[in-house]
Chains A and B, each alone.
Chain A
Amino acid sequence: MRTISRRRFGTLIAATFGVVALLSARSVSAHHGWGGYLDAEFEITGTVESSVSLAGPHASMTIKGTDGHVWNLVLAPPPRSQQAGLKDGMIPVGAKVTAHGHRHRDNDRYEVKTERLTWGDKVFNVYPDRS
């Protein structure tokens, strides 16, 4: 009885880890961490489409880039973004901003993990240890 259950247990563990491995293999892009973004520094300027939102796992905002695309700017987590001086909705729609950080690895995704946001003479270093 004991040996049978051990064998069954082994198969089970192997199967479940197989499922997990299969799932993990698919994901390379990332919201969290920097792995999903290119190593090269990236900068994009545009006008605010939707203002700063200090909600969710990361603060965010969208801008209409000078290249015509709508860019999703992923900022630091809300407490850290707030510490950098950002407030909910503080930059008005239409204002000109520049985001400096790293572009998403997927070329079809207009997303920047932002380290530094510049609005006029204001600079928000949401990841001060990186920029």
Chain B
Amino acid sequence: MLDAAKWLQGSALGHFMRESGVWTYAIVNLAHILGVASLFGSVLVLDLRLVGLGRRIPLAALADATVPVAVTGFLIAAATGVGLLVTKATEYVGNPFLAIKFPAILLALINVLVISRSDAWQARGQRELSPREHRRLAVMGGLSLACWLTAIAAGRLIAYW
């Protein structure tokens, strides 16, 4: 683990993060937060709809509006997150919040995969969903919220260890 962290820290990106000016970390940090905000803001709206709030809004329309924002937000957060991590990677070895954050993200992504492949999700906008399908989507929406909230909470707390 420490070797991996040393390698990350010594990478070209690590050098760039440390040596390209005193504001670099702050700016990348800002982009990370904007990415997380876009991701979570859109996911929150979509997941609450999946859970059962605001059923008047067609799921297909809501998905069209939120999914691209969530994907873009995630990509920005992930890319900038790597930069933040490699700056002083060795300092994070043994930080328990990282050990919570990354599995939570992994679980959230697996959940995304499961939702997007489900019949209920693919049938959105094409036919009425059965009560069972509604329940399934609700469970996955709830799981999604729990995963992202855990990831964000643990992410924030990395700095407080």
Interface on A for B, CB 8 Å cutoff? Answer: 1, 4-5, 8-9, 12, 15-16, 19-20, 23-24, 26-27, 29-32, 36, 53-57, 60, 77-79, 81-82, 88
Cβ-defined contact, B25 with A57, below 8 A: yes
Give which listed residue, B18, B22, B51, B87, contacts A5 with CB less than 8 A.
B51
Could you say which residues of chain A place their CB within 8 Å of the CB of B100?
23
Could you say which residues of chain B place their CB within 8 Å of the CB of A56?
17-18, 25, 87-88, 91
Could you say which residues of chain B place their CB within 8 Å of the CB of A54?
22
Closest B residue by C-beta to A55: B18
Task: Confirm or deny: B30 has a beta carbon within 8 angstroms of a beta carbon on chain A.
Answer: no
Fill in one digit per residue for B11-46: 1 if any A CB lies within 8 Å of its CB, else 0: 000000111001111100100000000000000000
Cβ-defined contact, A1 with B145, below 8 A: no
Closest A residue by C-beta to B142: A12
Q: Which of the candidate stretches B69-77, B110-118, B119-127, B152-160 sits at the interface with the other chain?
A: B152-160
Fill in one digit per residue for B55-91: 1 if any A CB lies within 8 Å of its CB, else 0: 1000000000000000000000000000000011001
CB distance from B11 to the nearest CB of A (A): 14
Could you say which residues of chain B place their CB within 8 Å of the CB of A29?
160-161
Task: Confirm or deny: B52 has a beta carbon within 8 angstroms of a beta carbon on chain A.
Answer: yes
Cβ-defined contact, B52 with A88, below 8 A: no
Cβ-defined contact, A5 with B55, below 8 A: yes
Could you say which residues of chain B place their CB within 8 Å of the CB of A27?
97, 157, 160-161
Cβ-defined contact, B22 with A8, below 8 A: no
- Kindly list 13 other residue pairs between chains A and B, CB separation below 8 angstroms, not including A26-B157, A32-B159, A55-B19: A4-B52, A15-B142, A23-B100, A23-B150, A23-B153, A23-B154, A30-B160, A36-B160, A55-B87, A56-B17, A56-B87, A77-B26, A78-B25
User: Is the interface on chain B under 10, 10 to 19, 20 to 34, or 35 or more residues?
Assistant: 20 to 34
Closest A residue by C-beta to B157: A27
Question: 16 pairs across A/B with beta carbons < 8 Å?
Answer: A8-B51, A8-B142, A9-B48, A12-B51, A16-B146, A19-B149, A20-B149, A23-B100, A27-B157, A31-B159, A31-B160, A54-B22, A56-B91, A78-B22, A78-B25, A79-B23
Cβ-defined contact, B53 with A9, below 8 A: yes
Give which listed residue, B138, B159, B161, contacts A57 with CB less than 8 A.
B159
Cβ-defined contact, B25 with A55, below 8 A: yes
Could you say which residues of chain B place their CB within 8 Å of the CB of A78?
22-23, 25-26
CB distance from B59 to the nearest CB of A (A): 14
CB distance from B69 to the nearest CB of A (A): 21
Closest B residue by C-beta to A32: B159
CB distance from A49 to the nearest CB of B (A): 14
Could you say which residues of chain A place their CB within 8 Å of the CB of B142?
8, 12, 15
Cβ-defined contact, B25 with A8, below 8 A: no
